[in-house]
Amino acid sequence: MAIADIRTQFTADLASVCTDADQKALRDQYLGRKGGAVAGLMKALGAASPDQRPALGQQINELKQHIETTLDQRLASLSSARRPAGAVDVTLPGRVPAIGRLHPLTQLRSRIEAVFARQGYEILDGPETEDDWHNFEALNMPPEHPARDMQDTLYLSGPWDRPARPVGAVRGGGPSGPRVSGADVPHPATLLRTHTSSMQIRYMESHEPPVRVIAPGRVYRRDNLDLTHTPMFQQVEGLVVGEGVTMADLKGTIIGFLRELFVPDIPVVFRPSFFPYTEPSADVFIGCQRCKGAGCSMCKRTGFIEVLGCGMVHPAVFEAVGYDATHVTGFAFGVGIERLALLMHGVEDIRLFYENDLRFLEQFPL
């Protein structure tokens, strides 16, 4: 290559020198004793005719010097541009923060709330620590009632300490008893609420009909952890009370709710059941979404899966809160949020929702 071409090529190569290592590589490429461009020229010099040699030699020396000084300058400018130890390199890209998201159960709870809020329901919040009255007695489950065994209760202070109720001190007190406010009634047994049905009582004690509410929240039971049980889980309670509220309203509400939550053509079946606070009562089943009704392990080969309990509010409940059961009727329902989430997402182990494993939680984008 001609001397002038090498010089041009060097200038071009210099433009891409950004680091000390680049600079060293370029130095080797041009000034290296073995294989360097200048060394190549020196070799060629030997073959030149004696009269050309001095002029050619001078040109090669000039080129060598040019390359040396230019590379030295670049090296100096690289080191002066180097940031001092400990300085922050503001040109580095920032760390992208991991964006959080709502927990899948919170997402589902919000969806349920939205469905009912749109229909004019009020959304209630209430205490997770309850007394015996709101969790059991006012819901037509007096002490020793066998239905209390349907839910294994976590007591904070024992019902065994409970003194006898003063005569006539029941709020509402029945048709003949004096009306006493719920707060005046001694209920020493405190417990972690076993269901959100307690919110039915709390709301009706402080509001006159008509009623149209849902109460989402945590509930507690003395259950061991397994695939389908956790000692704490979440429910949504619903309550509608007014003149002329019928079982048809209940069915329409529940069917509409489940269709909106799952798919519009989901089969919904009501089967007679028993709850002390509703009469008649029903368990509600939806068609298994995994096998489409054909029968699989998830629906225990029945094609249907139970999703909630409901019924027409028992007159004894109205009596306990001082409502006139001859004028108003109502319906109520209770649904487990985890259970719906398991079915909706085809998750088989409820514990996954509470283990905070990001690999699981990240599968539920908003």
Q: Which is nearer to ligand DAH, 74 or 195 (CB)?
A: 195
**What is the number of the residue whose Cβ is closest to ligand DAH?**
334
For the record, the structure tokens of 315 come out as 């007159």
Among 131, 132, 237, 338, contact with ligand DAH (rule: CB under 6 A): 237
Among 182, 209, 311, 330, contact with ligand DAH (rule: CB under 6 A): 311
Could you tell me if 132 and 162 are in contact, meaning their C-beta atoms sit under 8 angstroms apart? yes
Stated as kind and residue range, the H or E segment containing 147 is none
Q: Which is nearer to ligand DAH, 172 or 276 (CB)?
A: 276
Binding range to ligand DAH, per CB under 6 A, among 59-67, 105-113, 327-335, 339-347: 327-335
Distance CA 318, CA 184 (A): 19
Q: Which is nearer to ligand DAH, 70 or 273 (CB)?
A: 273
Q: Does residue 309 interact with ligand DAH by CB under 6 A?
A: yes
Q: How far is the CB of 334 from ligand DAH (least distance, A)?
A: 3
Binding range to ligand DAH, per CB under 6 A, among 80-88, 161-169, 176-184, 329-337: 329-337
Tell me the residue type at 344: M
Q: Which is nearer to ligand DAH, 237 or 353 (CB)?
A: 237
Could you tell me if 213 and 122 are in contact, meaning their C-beta atoms sit under 8 angstroms apart? yes
Q: Which is nearer to ligand DAH, 23 or 281 (CB)?
A: 281
Q: How far is the CB of 215 from ligand DAH (least distance, A)?
A: 10
| 314 Cβ neighbours under 8 A, 6+ residues apart | 140, 276, 277, 278, 279
Q: Alpha helices, DSSP H only, in the chain?
A: 3-14, 20-31, 37-47, 53-81, 104-118, 132-135, 198-206, 247-261, 315-321, 337-345, 358-361
What strands lie across the sheet with 278-287, from one edge to the other? 122-123, 211-220, 232-242, 329-336, 304-313, 278-287, 268-275
Q: How far is the CB of 237 from ligand DAH (least distance, A)?
A: 6
Pairing label, strands 278-287, 304-313: antiparallel
Q: Which is nearer to ligand DAH, 10 or 275 (CB)?
A: 275
Q: Alpha helices, DSSP H only, in 119-193?
A: 132-135
Interface characters, 187-216, with ligand DAH (x: CB under 6 A): --------x-x-------------------
Q: How far is the CB of 264 from ligand DAH (least distance, A)?
A: 25
- Please give the size of the binding site for ligand DAH, defined by CB under 6 A: 11
Q: How far is the CB of 287 from ligand DAH (least distance, A)?
A: 21
Q: Which is nearer to ligand DAH, 39 or 123 (CB)?
A: 123
Tell me the residue type at 15: A
Q: Does residue 275 interact with ligand DAH by CB under 6 A?
A: yes
Distance CA 13, CA 260 (A): 67
For the record, the structure tokens of 352 come out as 């996954």
Q: Does residue 270 interact with ligand DAH by CB under 6 A?
A: no
Binding range to ligand DAH, per CB under 6 A, among 38-46, 61-69, 256-264, 308-316: 308-316
**DSSP assignment of 291-352, as one string?**
TTTS--TTTTTSSEEEEEEEEEEPHHHHHHHT--TTT-EEEEEEEEHHHHHHHHHT---GGG
- Applying the rule CB under 6 A, the residues between 36 and 55 that interact with ligand DAH are none
Among 172, 216, 330, 334, contact with ligand DAH (rule: CB under 6 A): 334
Within 10 A of 48 (CB to CB), how many other CB atoms are there? 13
Q: Does residue 329 interact with ligand DAH by CB under 6 A?
A: no
Distance CA 16, CA 23 (A): 9
Binding site for ligand DAH (CB under 6 A): 195, 197, 237, 275, 278, 309-311, 332-334
